[in-house]
Amino acid sequence: MFKARGLLISLEGIDGCGKSTQAEVLRGKLAEKDIDYTTVREPGGTVVGENIRQVLLDNRYSPSLQAEMFLYMAARSELTEQVIRPALLEGSIVICDRFTDSTLAYQGYGGGADLGLIRLLNRKATGGIAPDLTILFDLSVEEAAGRRGAKADRMESKDIRFHQRVRCGYLEIAHREAHRVVVVDAAASIEDQSKVVWQLVQELTARKLSVRSAYEF
């Protein structure tokens, strides 16, 4: 029997913009509707990935930009092969709290690493799996910092200009890849945003299913 491939949805945006909050609301909605879903966060989601996460977010360490980039890619490779690909093959809707665009935005636009190299490494790390939909929660750096509170991890403690470059980088990715990335105003209430997110997920599901019924069944 043919089994339709699932859908991959990534949630992106600067630290504190509300990604995890929206991931949780969306998870609840999918569960309520009895839709098969899988939620993952990056870096993490595997034994190796969670250990890499500890290293990356630890304020005691200061890996070079290149080492940092490779660590994120290693965690992504593990997550894709062990969790995301199998879940997609099972037909699950995979919600990824950060994915490939985070490395482009943080190490690329924020840190100055070569964007072409990051795109190449992303393709290698994911084996070519790309999100069907990316929701970018756009928020000012000041407002995001206010939401995060006092305790900051290593990435969050970088200066304000770094976070501004990351935000602009994300918006540029959205502009370049408008067919995949949708920008949501993260200054809106949790409830208003979750309505937009649910609308986007429904549209995506309808679109993909109609394409499948035309070509795959």
Ligand X SMILES: Nc1ncnc2c1ncn2[C@@H]1O[C@H](COP(=O)(O)OP(=O)(O)OP(=O)(O)O)[C@@H](O)[C@H]1O
> Contact positions toward Mg ion, by CB under 5 A?
20
Burial 162-174 (b: 16+ CB within 10 A, else e): bbbbbbebbbebb
Q: Which does 45 bind (CB under 5 to 8 A by kind): Mg ion, ligand X, none?
A: none
Distance (Å, whole) CA 81 – CA 124: 11
Shortest spacing between CB 17 and ligand X, in angstroms? 4
- Residue 127: closest CA among 80, 94, 74: 80
Please choose, from the candidates 155, 172, 200, 189, the residue with its C-alpha nearest in 3D space to the C-alpha of residue 101: 172
Q: Give min distance, CB of 41 to Mg ion, in A.
A: 7
Residue 189 interacts with, from Mg ion, ligand X, none (CB under 5-8 Å by kind):
ligand X
Choose from Mg ion, ligand X, none: what does 43 bind? Cβ within 5-8 Å by kind.
Answer: none
List the one residue out of 10, 8, 34, 37 whose CA is nearest residue 22. Answer: 10
- Which of Mg ion, ligand X, none does residue 25 bind (CB under 5 to 8 Å by kind)? none
Question: What is the distance between the alpha carbons of residues 17 and 156, in angstroms, rounded to a whole number?
Answer: 12
CB of 47 to Mg ion, least distance (A): 20
User: Which residues contact ligand X by CB under 6 A?
Assistant: 13, 15-21, 147, 189-190, 193
Least distance to Mg ion from the beta carbon of 197, Å?
15
Residue with smaller CB distance to ligand X, 20 or 164:
20
Comparison of 62 and 189: residue with beta carbon closer to ligand X: 189
Rounded distance, CA 144 to CA 128, Å? 32
